[in-house]
Chain A
Amino acid sequence: MAKHIVIVGGGLAGTIVANGLCRQLGDELRSGEVRITVLGNTDKHMYQPGLLYVPFGKIRESELFRDQRKVLDRRATFHIDAVANVDVDANRVTCESGKTYDYDYVVLATGSRIRPDQIPGMEEGAHWFYDLEGARKMREALRDFEGGRIVVNVNVPHKCPVAPLEITFMLYDYLNAKGLMDKTEITYTYPIGRLHTLEPVANWAAPEFDKFGIKSETFFNTKEIDPAAKTITSEEGSTREYDMLVAIPPHTGAQVILDSDLGAGGWVPTERETLLREGSTNVFVVGDTTNIPISKAGSTAHFEADTIIDNLASLVMEGHWARNYDGKVFCFVETGMNSGTYVWFNYTTPPNPGPPSQMLHWFKLAYNRLYWLSARGLL
């Protein structure tokens, strides 16, 4: 009887796991000892970090997408059939079509989603760039913007933790190039008492904000937005006026996780080193889907996926565990339209970003293309 590995989710994490397993389990797939099934909800794979460039017209929308069947290794069976339920006691996944898949191992890679609906007034009153529709609307709003008060408003939890700072610096560069900064005020709000949760990044950003005249308000957790009055109010009791609001909406996990009762908020309780669901020995969790207190970011998903590939392949081939995840995260940080830096850390090594440079900005631009090699498991 073939061992069946089911991967729920065809985003970056699920795709890397599938491709890596196909590479490591080539003989077993050929002999029929192993089957790999990927269940996704779309035939398109989107490069999500590219959304950052959409509002500024710096990337073509077509560059964001590839055909998921071409990104996935052909040895994996791919079905476009969103998963409706995961029964971890019965080792069975049920799709919206009604089809069921029994598994020996399952990898939960269902990701996260923005939830502007969770804050009163946000859907009507804010722009965002965390999905394509929002990024398009923001592009149109920026094109028509003639000056005024812009508030960049960061909410919890959110993925890609450096994106709020990136969009702020890019907004400054974009509006400065259009000659609008002399009649524009940019204010950045952040939930905790500094500009970024990573202290070295916050310490770097503060003087940069001063240099560009970007204002900030910390300890700002959004309570509500009044789209008619164009005001935003925090749980801490502060109200700000805006002409254009750029929000990083709060996120939740996928509905299927909630519907399957696998974790509050759609985040699956996960052991931080094994990446196994707490209480399970055959349920792996990867990327944004975990509740591990670590950045929800593509690089996290990538490094976690590499660990799961090694362990799943080892378990299937030889019946033993290979290695633990060390918490590694690596993120490029755009510090403007022409400069960038990077930061990396793990569970035991604190972050220490280097000085921004144009070269690092070019590396990030190069990675925007190299991403597709990562997704294919080649990088």
Chain B
Amino acid sequence: MAERTKIDARGAFCPGPLMELIAGLKLIEVGDEIEIWSSDKGSAKDIPEWVAKVGHEMVGVEQCEGYDSIVVRKAK
């Protein structure tokens, strides 16, 4: 069962949700997941774009009240 780490990056302008995700992925094992909360409307586009480019896996994007919940699985 994959472990899931939550990062609440709502209101994070710097370093921002994608940078927090990249840093967070360094701290988990391959196969585990990060659930990141972002109030930056660009994250729902930026994060999947980077995840595809680098070769991790998108698990899902859920729109919540005022933020997006984005789940990424570390693939390598």
A219 touches B53 (CB 8 A): yes
| Interface size of B in residues (CB-CB distance below 8 Å) | 25
Docked complex: B9-37 residues within 8 A CB-CB of A: 9, 11-20, 22-23, 26-27
CA distance A100 to B47 in the complex (A): 46
Measured CB to CB, the nearest residue on chain B to A266 is B27
B23 touches A156 (CB 8 A): yes
B62: interface (CB < 8 Å): no
A192 touches B54 (CB 8 A): no
Residues of B within 8 A of A347 (CB): 11
Most buried by B among A156, A191, A265, A293: A293
A350: interface (CB < 8 Å): yes
B8 touches A293 (CB 8 A): yes
A121: interface (CB < 8 Å): no
A192 touches B12 (CB 8 A): no
B11 touches A348 (CB 8 A): yes
Docked complex: A263-278 residues within 8 A CB-CB of B: 264-265, 272
B26 touches A236 (CB 8 A): no
B58: interface (CB < 8 Å): no
A193: interface (CB < 8 Å): yes
CA distance A161 to B24 in the complex (A): 17
A198: interface (CB < 8 Å): yes
A235 touches B18 (CB 8 A): no
A49: interface (CB < 8 Å): no
Within the complex, which residue of B13, B22, B27 is in contact with A198, where a contact is CB–CB below 8 Å?
B13
Measured CB to CB, the nearest residue on chain A to B18 is A192
Residues of B within 8 A of A348 (CB): 11
A197 touches B50 (CB 8 A): no
| Interface size of A in residues (CB-CB distance below 8 Å) | 27
* Closest-CB distance, A148 to chain B (whole angstroms): 29
Residues of B within 8 A of A193 (CB): 18, 46, 49-50
Measured CB to CB, the nearest residue on chain A to B15 is A197
Residues of A within 8 A of B54 (CB): 219, 221, 235-236
* Closest-CB distance, A275 to chain B (whole angstroms): 15
A157 touches B19 (CB 8 A): yes
Docked complex: A27-86 residues within 8 A CB-CB of B: none
Docked complex: A165-221 residues within 8 A CB-CB of B: 191-193, 197-199, 219, 221
B13 touches A350 (CB 8 A): yes
B61: interface (CB < 8 Å): no
B53 touches A264 (CB 8 A): no
* Closest-CB distance, A341 to chain B (whole angstroms): 15
Residues of B within 8 A of A192 (CB): 16, 18-19, 22, 46, 50
B46 touches A345 (CB 8 A): no
CA distance A329 to B15 in the complex (A): 12
B7: interface (CB < 8 Å): yes
B9 touches A293 (CB 8 A): yes
CA distance A192 to B27 in the complex (A): 18
A192-B50, A193-B50 known; A156 vs B11 contact (CB < 8 Å)? no
B27 touches A197 (CB 8 A): no
Residues of B within 8 A of A327 (CB): 11
Residues of B within 8 A of A293 (CB): 7-9, 12, 15-17, 20
* Closest-CB distance, B41 to chain A (whole angstroms): 11
Residues of B within 8 A of A295 (CB): 14-15
Measured CB to CB, the nearest residue on chain A to B37 is A293
Within the complex, which residue of A161, A221, A265, A272 is in contact with B15, where a contact is CB–CB below 8 Å?
A161
CA distance A197 to B23 in the complex (A): 13
CA distance A351 to B23 in the complex (A): 22
Measured CB to CB, the nearest residue on chain B to A292 is B12
A219-B53, A265-B27 known; A197 vs B22 contact (CB < 8 Å)? no
A294: interface (CB < 8 Å): yes
28 pairs of residues in contact across A and B, judged by CB atoms under 8 Å: A156-B15, A156-B19, A156-B22, A157-B15, A157-B19, A191-B19, A191-B22, A192-B46, A193-B18, A197-B13, A197-B14, A198-B14, A198-B16, A199-B42, A264-B5, A265-B27, A272-B8, A293-B7, A293-B8, A293-B9, A293-B12, A293-B15, A293-B17, A294-B12, A295-B15, A329-B14, A345-B13, A348-B11
Given contacts A197-B13, A265-B23, 8 further A-B contacts (CB under 8 A): A192-B50, A197-B14, A265-B26, A272-B8, A293-B12, A294-B12, A329-B14, A345-B13
